[in-house]
Amino acid sequence: MDCSHVFEFKVKRLIVVFTLFLAFFSSSPAAFAQVDTTHVTEHAHAEPAKKKFDIGKFALHHIADSHSWHVIGETYIGLPVVLYTKDGFVTFNSSDFNHDDEGRVVVERKGQRFVKVHEKIHYASAVANEHGQFVDLDEKHHALNARPLDLSMTKNVCTLIISMIIILVVFLNVANGYKKRKGKSPKGLQSWMEPIILFVRDDIAKPNLGHKYERFMPYLLTVFFFIWFNNMLGLIPFLPGGANLTGNIAVTMVLALATFCLTVFNGNKYYWKHIFMPDVPWWMYIVMVPVELVGVFTKPIALMIRLFANITAGHILVLSLICLVFVFDSLYIAPVSVAFAVFIGAIELLVAFIQAFIFTILSALFIGMAIEEHH
């Protein structure tokens, strides 16, 4: 659970602010395990009430996906759980777990028993362990039980749907504007979005893809606005924002995979020749071909990691700043942490755009490299 290397991706950030929090996190793994243990064991209740606030666990909990949506205080919205098990689909509401996240509450559906451990649903063990948990844990407290295919409407999936609705509403409105004011200057939402659409077309697609750019415009525009809108939604601290969708590795993986597929399926003979038969002496092939082949995969992987790390790190940073109040256990630190959080929030707004831009321009670049014609 060493989070510090997550931060290493964020070198671009303000190093001063950064080192401050690296300091927190470097000390955190030890504390983490400790608190983790005390938390799971029943002795936890016997411990002094004022235990040390674990900023790492708090932040990681908030950036992770969840089966329920925390609204405020003790109010949670239970989200539907959809599981594909050996016996078909099983659905129930996550509030059936009674907010238990340590495998103590078993939900039984269709003759199958499920528990939730660290926001992941596992098949429950037949009997509870000594802590009342229906799971087998390894020494790091990771559940060892098998898992059904989890297609639940988690917080991230809800955000995904909300963002889809927002994007569709916005752009159908924009498209409608073009239909209504045919050939006229843009107005309202249309005039907000047109410069950005033109930016994607003229500064991202055209320079990288050349005259064949039109084929890839739908993908580039969709990926750009999807990432940008979700980055911004993630910055809203309350409903309907707050989920860390673009900072989720599964989401960035799908996006990177899309770019990868477009690159591979659109690659022309020059592209493949460059990989398998580069213009070097034949004995260099031993080195060049593996390097080029690895490059094919590292490009989308870099895309995936970059977006994930940047957005996740931003979330952790803001959360950590706010948590300073709890770390120092003093309200007097609040102005400082709020000031920093506002500052980082402003930077995050910029990062939200920049990351969408970088992902899109690199996608265009990779596709452009694959479809480039040589004379």
- Backbone angles phi and psi of 117, in degrees to 5: -125, 125
Which of 136, 124, 121 is closest to 83 using CA atoms?
Answer: 121
d(CA 225, CA 218): 11
Is residue 179 a contact residue for another protein (CB under 8 A)? yes
Site membership for another protein, residue 168 (CB under 8 A): yes
Q: Cα dihedral sign for 3, 259, 226, 80?
A: negative
Binding flag, residue 198, another protein (CB under 8 A): yes
- Residue 48 binding another protein, by CB under 8 A: no
348 binds another protein (CB under 8 A): no
Give yes or no for residue 156 binding another protein (CB under 8 A): yes
Kindly state whether residue 174 participates in binding another protein, applying the rule CB under 8 A. Answer: yes
CA distance 31 to 371: 51
Site stretch for another protein (CB under 8 A), options 167-175, 234-242, 268-276, 321-329:
167-175
Q: Which is nearer to another protein, 221 or 371 (CB)?
A: 221
> SS3 for 279?
coil
189 binds another protein (CB under 8 A): no
Query: Using CA atoms, how far apart are residues 182 and 206, in angstroms rounded to an integer?
Result: 24
Q: Confirm or reject binding of residue 161 to another protein (CB under 8 A).
A: yes
Dihedral, CA atoms, 308, 18, 350, 357, nearest 10 degrees?
-40
Q: Is 86 in the site for another protein (CB under 8 A)?
A: no
Give the C-alpha distances (Å, rounded to integers) separating 298 from 23, 179, 248, 295, 301: 31, 42, 19, 5, 5
Q: Does 149 bind another protein (CB under 8 A)?
A: yes
Hey, which residues between 232 and 271 contact another protein (CB under 8 A)?
A: 248-251, 253-255, 257-258
The torsion angles phi and psi of 267, rounded to 5 degrees, stand at: -60, 130
| Number of chain positions touching another protein (CB under 8 A) | 51
| 8 A C-beta contact, residue 131 and residue 117 | no
Contact residues: another protein, CB under 8 A: 1, 3, 6, 60, 63-65, 118, 120, 149-152, 154, 156-157, 160-161, 164, 167-168, 171-172, 174-175, 178-179, 182-183, 194, 197-198, 201, 214, 217-219, 221-222, 225-226, 248-251, 253-255, 257-258, 312
